[in-house]
A and B are shown apart, each in its own frame.
Chain A
């Protein structure tokens, strides 16, 4: 198989669409080329493409969970959620799988189809190899949008995100903003009615399916949505449901457990930075603690519109909404995050900090993590600049205070011994 692919590759080498073929060829196999005629230096397999594949593997559990959860939420909204929940009776069932596949798969196919088509076109025009950056973006996009996002909207957003978010800067590795989040931000500002509110998170809710023969339309409000409207009493989800992810939300971001598993996998394979993840968690906890303290000190009254979100236990911020997903898979994007170790701590901390701040202070944006990450993407180079400058200053200072011994000392010693 590998040899055959190599032969085809040799044949199309000078054709114009060679990059398009090369992209497929090196997807899973190491290229046959060696750097040296003697064959001593094989080109390493852990290139960018392999990195991307690792991230995709860590996303698969979230995708599978999202597929089942789509069906679970859909039927839960129609028939009411089951009283005594059992994983295999109510969650991993054929009908959930069918609903999930028919709703999630089109999102995935459109995301990859449109995005890769644009990547291939740009590669052929500019005459370089197809860049692998879209592999992960294409997987992330369906996971961070509401389940019933119309496909034409998604394709416009993907085209916008890939062209304006990435290609205008020079393609993979040159982009300032995370392309997946650019796509989400575009959707959010262009079609706000499809991206927030209580009608978009459950499949079928927009069409107004009726709930078990009553005339109530399906309402699939997210937990943050309840909190933003001060409707804490109406929220019936338990803590374990929030953690395991049996709640309405964007397709793949509900299960904190599986996101944490993905995070461990990424840290273990040294693909993503644990510094960013840890500092972002700390940032979110810090901001949450500040808000909790404000409530405990009685500085805010319960009729305030911020009260529910401020009183929300600080550590629970991590298990609701897209914060965990954003921290693990978006903030750690090696291209758009800070590059220096100290910079990563600052960058991550501010992402967590600002995310929770946007959540609480802007009820119009129940989830602020994507805005926080985009904002810090813009500041990442500035953070790096000051970290590097601080290091330069520190070392200059050390050099100034250093004792410089006379250079002729060894010679002097020598003459003595002689």
Chain B
């Protein structure tokens, strides 16, 4: 018997493409615009959300029968806030420079619509194992887009990947820069992320027959 049943693996795979939180549900856009100028920050953000959403879903799922529905939002907020503080403090302790780059956006994971959305829509009505898979799946779907956007923005905007120069040295004019290539300053500013995400949505909708709307 496989580790995951068909339904369970669907929980992980669906949010990666057909039901992606960013490109299909258009949630969590704010952080996707703000921190994707560098690939490193995108990866850290993706991992942080993975942690918060995976464990948050489990915690909420375990408590789901005890939470009075009138105050469930407050309880959810407390759970997210606790996990986010853990992430924030860990980053400050072990990766101070990165936590500087991410600045308030780690704290703002609390307000990431994907997280509250999954708590409300899934964890409150499903068991802990499934909620965990759902959390992981959605966080991965979010992370994949973040990494793709971060890849293009850092490559085109700064000519580096993970901070390492891949296109040559812009000051010493080596590599591509020897031929007159220049970094695209537009890619550094947040509106560029909107356009890159838009292009991803365009490509996905054009390729995936499930998503083509009737004219």
Q: Do B186 and A186 touch across chains, with their CB atoms under 8 A apart?
A: yes
A153 at the interface (CB under 8 A from B): yes
Whether B180 contacts A190 by the Cβ 8 Å rule is no
Judge if B184 is at the interface, Cβ distance under 8 Å: yes
**Size category of the binding interface on chain A:** 10 to 19
Q: Does A405 touch B at the CB level, under 8 Å? A: no
Considering the chains assembled together, what is the distance between the CA atoms of A190 and B195 in angstroms?
14
Contact B202 A190 (CB under 8 A): no
Q: Roughly how many angstroms separate A263 CA and B173 CA in the complex, as a whole number?
A: 45
The distance in angstroms between the C-alpha atoms of A194 and B184, with both chains bound, is 11
The minimal Cβ–Cβ distance linking B91 to chain A, given in whole angstroms, is 31
Q: Verify if A237 is at the interface (C-beta below 8 Å from B).
A: no
A191 within 8 A of B: yes
The answer on a CB contact under 8 Å between B185 and A168 is no
Distance in Å: Cβ of B96 to nearest Cβ of chain A = 31
Interface centre among B181, B182, B198, B202 (most CB of A within 10 A): B182
In the complex formed, the residue of A with least CB distance to B157 is A190
Residues of chain B contacted by A164 (CB below 8 angstroms): 195, 198
Query: A152 vs B181: C-alpha distance in the bound complex, in angstroms?
Result: 9
For B185, list chain A residues within 8 Å (CB).
189-192
Q: With A189-B186, A190-B185 given, is the CB distance from A168 to B180 under 8 Å?
A: no
Residue B149 interfacial (CB < 8 Å): no
**Residue A127 at the chain B interface, CB threshold 8 Å:** no
CA distance A193 to B180 in the complex (A): 13
A150 within 8 A of B: yes
Task: Tell me the dominant secondary structure on chain A's binding face.
Answer: helix
The yes or no answer to B37 lying at the interface (CB within 8 A) is no
User: Who on chain B is nearest to A188 by CB?
Assistant: B186
Distance A189 CA – B180 CA, assembled complex (angstroms): 18
Question: Bound state CA distance, A168 and B198, in angstroms?
Answer: 10
Instruction: Find the B residue at minimum CB distance from A192.
Output: B185
Pick the residue among B181, B184, B187, B202 that contacts A168 (CB under 8 A): B202
* Complex CA distance for A191 and B187, rounded to whole angstroms: 10
Q: Tally the A-B contacts, defined by beta carbons under 8 Å.
A: 23
Contacts of B181 in A (CB 8 A): 152
List the B side residues contacting A150 at CB < 8 Å: 180
State which of B184, B189, B202 has its C-beta within 8 Å of the C-beta of A191. B184
User: In the complex, how many angstroms separate the beta carbon of A230 from the nearest chain B beta carbon?
Assistant: 26
The CA of A190 and the CA of B198, in the complex, are separated in Å by 18
A191 near B195 (CB under 8 angstroms)?
no
Assess whether B180 is in contact with A152, with CB atoms less than 8 Å apart: yes
Cα-based distance from A194 to B180 in the complex (angstroms): 12
Determine which residue in B185, B186, B189 has the highest number of CB atoms from chain A within 10 A of its CB, and name it: B186
* Best-surrounded residue of A150, A156, A168, A189 (most CB of chain B within 10 A): A189
8 Å CB interface, A133-151 against B: 150
Assess the B189–A153 pair: CB atoms within 8 A.
no
Measured CA separation A194–B186 after assembly (Å): 13
Assembled-state Cα–Cα distance A393/B181 (Å): 57
Q: Which of B161-215 contact A (CB under 8 A)?
A: 180-182, 184-187, 189, 195, 198, 202
Closest to B184 in A: A190
CA distance A85 to B123 in the complex (A): 81
Q: How many angstroms from the CA of A156 to the CA of B189 in the assembled complex?
A: 18
Q: Annotate A172-193 by CB proximity to B: 1 below 8 A, 0 otherwise.
A: 0000000000000010011111
A151 (CB) vs chain B CBs: closest residue: B180
Contacts of B184 in A (CB 8 A): 156, 190-191
Min CB gap B57→A, angstroms:
36
| Residues of chain B whose beta carbon lies under 8 Å from any beta carbon of chain A | 180-182, 184-187, 189, 195, 198, 202
Q: A153-B182, A190-B185 are in contact. List 8 more A-B contacts (CB 8 A).
A: A150-B180, A164-B195, A186-B186, A189-B186, A190-B186, A191-B182, A192-B185, A193-B182
The contact sample of 23 A-B pairs, CB cut-off 8 A, is: A150-B180, A152-B180, A152-B181, A153-B182, A156-B184, A164-B195, A164-B198, A168-B198, A168-B202, A186-B186, A189-B185, A189-B186, A189-B189, A190-B184, A190-B185, A190-B186, A190-B187, A191-B182, A191-B184, A191-B185, A192-B185, A193-B182, A194-B182
